[in-house]
């Protein structure tokens, strides 16, 4: 019985974390949706491993852009930061970026910039995981109440 209570509590905590991540992704997307863009230039591009086992890769891009009369250098590809994928898709993404690329920048802090919007799949993965974990935790609580 104690183990089911612990499993339910951990599952609800995981669900809450997943829903928080989904809300954060959605909020970041909404906040930066109307940020202005300027033309930037790709300086370097490549991919790097996100794990020691080299199973997940993230694009690495360094780009320069100018807002007003000040030049900036950015490295953030996606709005929320690093996003992992397999080696080939990450390399295709990097290779497909043009030399001259639109850079989205924060009008209140032009040093904060990114190239691409977050992949929508990240929001949906977090939301579905949160819903699944919540339902599993609820099932654990219901089996405690019945049994």
pLDDT 10s digits, 109-127: 999 999 987 656 666 677 7
Name the most confidently modeled range: 31-40, 66-75, 78-87, 130-139.
66-75
pLDDT at 53 > cutoff 80: no
Contact call for residues 39 and 101 (beta carbons, < 8 A):
yes
The number of CA neighbours under 13 Å toward the Cβ of 112 is 11
Query: Rg for the chain (alpha carbons), in Å?
Result: 20
Cα-Cα-Cα-Cα dihedral sign, residues 14, 125, 30, 39: positive
pLDDT value for 11: 84
pLDDT band at 57; cut points 50, 70, 90:
confident
| Percentage of the chain modeled with pLDDT above 90 | 32
Greater confidence (110 vs 83) lies with: 110
Q: Which residues contact 44 (CB under 8 A, 6 or more apart)?
A: 60, 61, 62
């Amino acid at each position: 019985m104690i183990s089911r209570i612990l499993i339910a509590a951990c599952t609800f905590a995981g669900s809450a974390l997943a829903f928080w991540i989904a809300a954060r992704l959605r909020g970041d997307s909404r906040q930066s949706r109307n940020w202005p863009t300027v033309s930037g230039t790709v300086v370097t591009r490549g991919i790097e491993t996100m794990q020691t086992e080299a199973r997940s890769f993230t694009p690495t891009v360094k780009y320069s852009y100018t807002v007003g009369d000040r030049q900036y250098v950015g490295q953030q590809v996606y709005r929320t930061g690093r996003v992992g994928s397999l080696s080939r898709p990450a390399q295709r993404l990097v290779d497909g970026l043009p030399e001259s690329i639109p850079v989205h920048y924060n009008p209140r802090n032009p040093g904060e910039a990114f190239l691409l919007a977050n992949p929508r799949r990240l929001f949906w993965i977090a939301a579905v995981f949160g819903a699944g974990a919540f339902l599993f935790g609820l099932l654990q609580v219901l089996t405690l109440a019945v049994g």
